[in-house]
Amino acid sequence: MGNERSFRRGRKYTNGEIIVYWKPDSCIHASHCYRELIEVFDPGKRPWVDMSGASTEQIIETVNMCPTDALTWKFNDDERNMDIDPEHTNHVNFRRPELMVAGNETNEEPVSVKIMPDGPIVLNGTFTLNYSTYRKDVKESILSLCRCGASNHMPFCDGTHRKVGFTDN
């Protein structure tokens, strides 16, 4: 797991709940991150941040120890970014407000591709869908694609998977 994307000479990583931003130019090698949480922040590995190595709470706690803005974080769900206590936090609201400006960053959200158990693929985000000569630009929206092969409305899910008894196994 882990998500590594170039972002203004920095990188970002997500576990689906929070995004951690890495800005190498700001790092003064205080070493709090890997001394505290080597399971997530391991300079010897590539990518060096593994978001599956610890809980969201532990990751936030460790990022907040970074003395610079080399490591900052925010919730994927923007509503949860509203009530952050500015004390001792490396939330991007306070450390890198440029990342919170609408349009600066929100367009970079990865598209969520969710496999529903015994059901369709649910796409959520900003993406282009191509199907034969059909093309659709989807902006910050959700749609479901058939995974059972029996839809009467290809490539979209029309609920037929329940009738045909499609299972994941």
Partner 1 sequence: MEENKDFKPQAIIEVTEDGPIKITGNFLLSDAKRDIMESPTEIYLCKCGRSQNKPYCDESHKK
List the one residue out of 33, 83, 94 whose CA is nearest residue 58.
33
List the one residue out of 150, 78, 75, 79 whose CA is nearest residue 120.
150
Q: Are 43 and 95 in contact (CB under 8 A)?
A: no
Position 104 contacts partner 1 (CB under 8 A): no
Least distance between partner 1 and beta carbon 152 (Å):
14
Count, residues near partner 1 per rule CB under 8 A: 43
For residue 155, cis peptide bond before it (omega within 30 degrees of 0): yes
What's the DSSP call for residue 1?
-
Q: Are 161 and 148 in contact (CB under 8 A)?
A: yes
Q: Segment near partner 1 (CB under 8 A), from 22-30, 32-40, 63-71, 104-112?
A: 104-112
Position 142 contacts partner 1 (CB under 8 A): no
Q: Segment near partner 1 (CB under 8 A), from 57-65, 79-87, 90-98, 128-136?
A: 128-136
> What track of x and - describes contact with partner 1 for positions 25 through 64 (by CB under 8 A)?
---------------------------x------------
Least distance between partner 1 and beta carbon 130 (Å):
5
List the one residue out of 160, 148, 141, 140 whose CA is nearest residue 121.
148
Q: Are 109 and 103 in contact (CB under 8 A)?
A: no
Q: Segment near partner 1 (CB under 8 A), from 37-45, 60-68, 82-90, 102-110?
A: 102-110
Q: Are 21 and 99 in contact (CB under 8 A)?
A: yes
Positions that interact with partner 1 (CB under 8 A): 1-5, 14-16, 52, 107-115, 117, 121, 123, 125-132, 135, 137, 139, 145-150, 154-155, 166, 168-169
